[in-house]
Amino acid sequence: QLRRFCRALPIGFELRQVRLEEVTQFATDLDPALIYNFRSHDEFITRGVGVGILHQGMFVSGASSGAAGGGKLEIEIQTHRQFRRRGMARAVAAALILYCLEHGIEPCWDAANEPSAGLARQLGFHSTGKYEAYRLKQSEGRGAAP
């Protein structure tokens, strides 16, 4: 099933593992959150992993190790708004899950909303419980604290 999700892309869309020379583009095209838990691009490639879908020279969807350690990997996914609801997130997530399974890593999914939870269920995850999460509320017109 996971491999089928990886193959279910339209012509002109390429699914592949992110290479060192593509890390900047991967984060810029999609979201820096895909790599922000790593001190450098080299560390991202050696301790983490990214999978992306390229279309016309741009990453339009990507999944990465938002956090990795202790034999586990937290899946982070970003997809450009105009490419959503087309199976892109499912394809990159499936590819990252396969990578984890092939390398003896436990893939983990933290669903922040129902669409994310629904995608997780499609990919074979099941809920292990709920917990409260908090975000730092920023003042209007101000950036994050240093």
pLDDT band, very low/low/confident/very high, at 128 (cuts 50, 70, 90) = confident
**Over the stretch 17-58, which tens digit does the pLDDT of each residue have?**
999 999 999 999 999 999 999 999 999 999 999 999 999 999
- Contacts of the segment 135-141: beta carbons below 8 A, 24+ positions apart: none
pLDDT of the residue at 130: 81
Domains of the chain, start order:
2-122 (3.40.630.30)
Comparison of pLDDT for 131 and 41, the residue scoring more? 41
Comparison of pLDDT for 142 and 12, the residue scoring more? 12
pLDDT of the residue at 136: 79
User: Would the pLDDT of 112 be above 90?
Assistant: no
Task: Quote the pTM value.
Answer: 0.87
Query: Which tokens is 88 given?
Result: 């892109």
Tell me how far the alpha carbon of residue 127 is from its chain's centroid: 19
pLDDT band, very low/low/confident/very high, at 119 (cuts 50, 70, 90) = very high
**Over the stretch 68-93, which tens digit does the pLDDT of each residue have?**
888 999 999 999 999 999 999 999 99
